[in-house]
Amino acid sequence: MTEKVFSYEEAAAFVAKSAAKLARIPHTSERVPLARSAGRVLARPLRADRDQPPFARSTRDGFACRADEASSHAPLKIAGATRAGATPSGPLARGSAWEIMTGAPVPRGADAVVMLEHVDAADGFVRLLPPRKIDTGENIVARGAQARKGELLLPAGTLIGAAQIALAATCGSATVEVYRRPRVAILATGDELVPVNKSPASGQIRNSNAPMLAAMVAEHGGEPWVLPIAADTAKALDAALAKILAPGAQADLLLITGGVSAGKFDLVEPALARIGARFHFTGVRIQPGKPTVFGEIHRGGLPSANRSAGLLTGSRAGVLARTKHLPIFGLPGNPVSSAVTFLLFAAPVLRALSGSRDAEPRFALARLAADVKAKPGLTRFLPAACTFAGSVPEVALVSWQGSGDIAAMARANCFLVVPEDTDRIRAGETVRILLA
Ligand code: AMP
Ligand code: MG
């Protein structure tokens, strides 16, 4: 098989382009209660159902007045009082003021609100204390200042969080239309693996990648579908792939871990090739995660031999209404490699499939706490701990025993990026981190 090894930048650019293409394919949607919409992606734009705010609103406790009258420091007659929730009152007579509470509608005729702290109020009159003056519009948010009725507030493709829920609630959306979650098949491969609820014999280890990736998939907007562990045999891999591609399985993305290195029992690529997979790249110059594979399987256009064997006939996408291809990632089996390559390459594709416009991996800048040495030639993503307690985020490597060190990864909260041509970064320098 011909190898296609990309630099990190080439692989990231290729993935970004693929993700953008997937994001443009129409997605299917469903309606969910607003209270359960956090983490979902809006499928229809949210528009203001009325002006926001719906009435000129006072932002202070105080007295609604005419700014020019108040600024003259003449005593103004207190004509009435309005609390939050009251219907707008007025008109405000000349030479008078109206007691008002934060959030209450400003009476017609008033053009400013003087703060309670800035006045002298006695015997039914109120006076702005000199030398203070007040401008027209002060402490009032005009009707429609935030949005006009019908105005676009959030476009489709917005990830819903607490603030978006607040906005939807303001607009009276008790339910919201969201994209369906992409269904992500997760297949761990390896003769050495046993499920978490089985005792490993000597030489065996527990399958930690599947639950880890299931958690990452859920976090990035997908619905994990964890398959039973596949042995390192052509037969086991063919059977697992047939199941994933069976009619009705409706996978939107396939993640396979293990079996993509150059070893004698690394049989994933040949198994994918047997069902007509096309490989975009079969390696990336990164550490950890060098043997990462990205490709796609054509859902319908297989050689007839495969079709007659029952593979792929009728295979349909889940969330994408029209797509001929199932994107696939082969992630190296070492847990840190699987995690890093998921974040760098699989997560952007998953987020695009989820309909989110925010598909890019998240990098941030931090100050390096201690010198880091590396061998040039690979872009490195090293497990690190970033603290946010100081004025600037500060990052330090966690000590690790290589890409199998799950304990180190569990002490980390990000990955320090060491560029391909760099052999040393000094303490105090600004560095990039990949947020976990
Ligand atoms: P591979 O990519 O198949 O060569 O796997 C590399 C190493 O990663 C293996 O030797 C295992 O120690 C480890 N590994 C592979 N798959 C898993 C898994 N699902 N869970 C935990 N460790 C794994
Ligand atoms: Mg293996």
pLDDT tens readout for residues 12-24: 999 999 999 999 9
Neighbours of ion ligand 2 (CB under 5 A): 190, 258-259, 333
Q: Which atom of ligand 1 is nearest to the CA of 291?
A: 2
Smallest-distance ligand from the CA of 209: 1
Ligand 1 binding pocket (C-beta < 6 A) is 188, 190, 192-193, 205, 207-210, 257-261, 263, 332-335, 404
The residue whose CA is least distant from atom 15 of ligand 1 is: 333
Q: Specify the pLDDT at position 304.
A: 43
Q: Going edge to edge, which strands form the sheet with 253-257? A: 223-226, 183-188, 253-257, 325-331, 293-298, 278-281
366 CB burial (10 A radius; 0-12, 13-18, 19+): buried
Give the pLDDT mean for 348-368: 96
Q: Specify the pLDDT at position 382.
A: 97
The residue whose CA is least distant from atom 13 of ligand 1 is: 334
Give the pLDDT mean for 289-305: 78
Give the pLDDT mean for 403-414: 97
3-state secondary structure of 212: helix
With pLDDT > 70 as the criterion, what percentage of the chain qualifies?
95
DSSP percent split of the chain into helix, strand, coil, nearest 5: 20, 30, 45
Smallest-distance ligand from the CA of 337: 1
Record the tokens describing residue 315, joined without a space. Answer: 């295979």
Q: Which residue from 191, 192, 194 has its CB within 8 A of the most atoms of ligand 1, so it is best to mutate? A: 192
Give the pLDDT mean for 366-378: 96
Does residue 99 contact residue 78 with C-beta atoms inside 8 Å?
yes
Distance of CA 308 to the CA centre of its chain: 41
- If you measure from the C-alpha of residue 208 to the centroid of ligand 2, how many angstroms do you get, rounded to a whole number? 13
Smallest-distance ligand from the CA of 233: 2
- Asked if residue 306 has pLDDT above 80, the reply is no
Q: Which atom of ligand 1 is nearest to the CA of 232?
A: 3
Q: Which residue from 255, 290, 334 has its CB within 8 A of the most atoms of ligand 1, so it is best to mutate? A: 334
What tens digit of pLDDT does each residue of 236-293 get?
Answer: 999 999 999 998 889 999 999 999 988 888 899 999 999 999 999 999 999 999 999 9
Give the pLDDT mean for 112-137: 97
Smallest-distance ligand from the CA of 288: 1
Record the tokens describing residue 183, joined without a space. Answer: 């269904």
Q: Specify the pLDDT at position 324.
A: 81
Q: Which atom of ligand 1 is nearest to the CA of 260?
A: 2
3-state secondary structure of 288: coil
- If you measure from the C-alpha of residue 332 to the centroid of ligand 2, how many angstroms do you get, rounded to a whole number? 8
Instruction: Tell me phi and psi for residue 37, to 5 degrees.
Output: -100, -5
Record the tokens describing residue 117, joined without a space. Answer: 């702290």
Smallest-distance ligand from the CA of 227: 1
- Asked if residue 314 has pLDDT above 60, the reply is no
- If you measure from the C-alpha of residue 182 to the centroid of ligand 1, how many angstroms do you get, rounded to a whole number? 25
Q: Which atom of ligand 1 is nearest to the CA of 266?
A: 3
The residue whose CA is least distant from atom 3 of ligand 1 is: 258
Q: Which of 86-95, 170-179, 224-233, 351-360 has the lowest mean pLDDT?
A: 86-95
Residue 192 vs residues 84, 210, 333: alpha-carbon distances, Å: 66, 14, 11
Label residue 316 by pLDDT band (50, 70, 90). Answer: low
Does residue 128 contact residue 62 with C-beta atoms inside 8 Å?
no
61 CB burial (10 A radius; 0-12, 13-18, 19+): middle
What tens digit of pLDDT does each residue of 52-80 get?
Answer: 999 999 999 999 999 999 999 999 999 99
C-alpha dihedral, 78 to 82 to 83 to 86, nearest 10°: 170
Does residue 92 contact residue 108 with C-beta atoms inside 8 Å?
yes
Residue 301 vs residues 237, 309, 320, 328, 417: alpha-carbon distances, Å: 20, 14, 18, 16, 40
Label residue 301 by pLDDT band (50, 70, 90). Answer: very low
Q: Specify the pLDDT at position 426.
A: 98
Label residue 317 by pLDDT band (50, 70, 90). Answer: low
- If you measure from the C-alpha of residue 134 to the centroid of ligand 1, how many angstroms do you get, rounded to a whole number? 70
Residue 131 vs residues 72, 112, 272, 366: alpha-carbon distances, Å: 10, 17, 80, 48
Q: Which residue from 191, 194, 205, 266 has its CB within 8 A of the most atoms of ligand 1, so it is best to mutate? A: 205
- Asked if residue 311 has pLDDT above 80, the reply is no
- Asked if residue 394 has pLDDT above 90, the reply is yes
Give the pLDDT mean for 194-207: 97
Q: Which residue from 191, 209, 292 has its CB within 8 A of the most atoms of ligand 1, so it is best to mutate? A: 209
* Global confidence as pTM: 0.92
The single residue listed with the structure tokens 């190296």 is: 332
Q: Specify the pLDDT at position 321.
A: 63
- Asked if residue 305 has pLDDT above 60, the reply is no
247 CB burial (10 A radius; 0-12, 13-18, 19+): exposed
Q: Specify the pLDDT at position 56.
A: 96
- If you measure from the C-alpha of residue 77 to the centroid of ligand 1, how many angstroms do you get, rounded to a whole number? 80
- If you measure from the C-alpha of residue 411 to the centroid of ligand 2, how many angstroms do you get, rounded to a whole number? 25
- If you measure from the C-alpha of residue 185 to the centroid of ligand 1, how many angstroms do you get, rounded to a whole number? 18
Q: Which of 120-124, 215-219, 297-301 has the lowest mean pLDDT?
A: 297-301
How far apart CA 5 and CA 1 sit, in angstroms, is 12
208 CB burial (10 A radius; 0-12, 13-18, 19+): middle
Mean per-residue pLDDT of the chain: 94
- If you measure from the C-alpha of residue 291 to the centroid of ligand 2, how many angstroms do you get, rounded to a whole number? 12
